[in-house]
Structure 1
Amino acid sequence: MSTEKKQFTVSIYTENNIGLLNRISAIFQRRHMNVESLNTSPSEIDGVSRFTLVVNITESQMKKVIGQIEKQVEVIKAYYHTEDEIIYQESCLFKIKSELLFDERQIQNIIKDSNARIVTVNKDFFAIEKSGRKEEIDLLHRELYVFGIMQFTRSGRIAVTKDEMKISTMLKAFQE
């Protein structure tokens, strides 16, 4: 097993209970591991939540962490995936002064070339939404930064596996 750090996407299927996020983050904190990205959402099964985390650690560390996560009472199942095993996206919003949209022709080209979309425009500001890979969002941020960004936020990673996951069968049984 490799001792080199790699980026892993972790999928954790859970009951939706208060305090679970704190306990999961504590598992990483105790080991001095940084969580790069975190997203929580409903899963494909009613009543089951899904946490999606991104971490840079060794595979042996990842296996130990998965074991600790699965010891949490509310956790149904936890998985980890490498980059080539998943399809993933992030999403972001930029808020920029409206005058730039009309005065700086280059901004319109940046928006068009990045496949971003304008979601609102008023006299003071406009908002742009972009979904894509981390690198695409980072590039758009660098391009817009020189014009001045009033506000910026990005989501955590969301991901699905390329291969079928047997979790759906397990979750249906859990639901009954």
Structure 2
Amino acid sequence: MSTEEKQLYTVSIYTENNIGLLNRISAIFQRRHINIESLNTSPSEIEGVSKFIIVVNVTEDSIKKIIGQIEKQVEVIKAYYHSLDEIIYQITGLFKIKSELLFEERQIQNIIKESNARIVTVNKEFFVLEKAGKKEEVVDLYNQLSQFGIMQYTRTGLIAVTKEEMKISSLLQTFNN
């Protein structure tokens, strides 16, 4: 693949948990006029170390330069980039729908069953569905349910782990000691 072809990359950034770091990292993308497709922050496998997962559509040359800029931030321990075929990833969507549809529309029950969505809660007014999977699966469920009316909808940023072993854990362990 030519390094000039744009593709989706996940950027994994291991950091100390400091105020203002997210702004500085997003500014790196903003200065290059790169739109962030999704962003997730969470604790990492090492106590006291946070992990950002940012998804962007860029060339490989561009992502290498971005990683270099990110690693210049004082609180950043290490940053990596991966293409989608190098990771195992999921997103989750939540759908709030009128409860009467669950009981009156057999098609809704079939959609839920076929999509492997999970009912999180049901009350008199509404029920909430959760669907985890690839973005396309969540969007497909959205498209199927939207014809019946969705009261609220939200989805997470991409979360991922690499297929290959990463040596980050030993690096982080030394950071923690």
Query: For this structure pair, what is the TM-score category when the shorter chain's length is used for normalisation?
Result: over 0.9
CA distance in 2, matches of 1:174, 1:2: 33
Q: 1:137 aligned to 2:138?
A: yes
SS in 2 for 1:26: helix
Structure 1 gap segments, 5+ residues each = none
Q: Distance in 1 between matches of 2:117 and 2:105?
A: 17
Q: Structure 1 residue 55 and structure 2 residue 61: aligned?
A: no
Q: Does 1:94 align with 2:110?
A: no
Matched AA of 2:103: F
One-letter amino acid matched to 2:52: F
Counterpart in the other structure of 2:122: 121
Provide the C-alpha distance between the structure 1 equivalents of 2:123 and 2:18, rounded to a whole number of angstroms: 40
The SS at the match of 1:140 is helix
Q: Offset at 1:80? A: 0.2
Q: Please list, as runs of the form range in 1=range in 2, the aligned pairs for 1:9-158 lying within 5 A after superposition.
A: 9-158=10-159
The residue matched to 1:95 in structure 2 has which SS? strand
In structure 2, what residue type is equivalent to 1:44?
E
| Runs of at least 4 residues off by over 6 Å | none
Task: Give unmatched runs, 5+ long, in structure 2.
Answer: none
Give % identity: 73
Deviations 1:96-120 (A, max 9, x none): 0011101111001000100001010
- Superimposed CA distance per residue, residues 86-138 of structure 1 (whole angstroms, 9 cap, x where no aligned partner): 00000110000011101111001000100001010011000000100001001
Counterparts of 2:27 and 2:147, CA distance in 1: 38
Normalised by the size of structure 2, how large is the TM-score?
Answer: 0.98
State the distance in 1 between where 2:59 and 2:118 align. Answer: 37
Partners of 2:4 and 2:102 lie apart in 1 by: 49
Number of aligned positions between the proteins: 176
Partner letter of residue 4 of structure 1?
A: E
Question: TM-score normalized by structure 1?
Answer: 0.99
Q: 1:83 offset after TM fit, Å?
A: 1.1
Secondary structure of the corresponding residue to residue 88 of structure 1: strand
SS of the residue corresponding to residue 128 of structure 1 reads strand
- How far residue 16 of structure 1 moved from its aligned partner, in angstroms, is 0.2
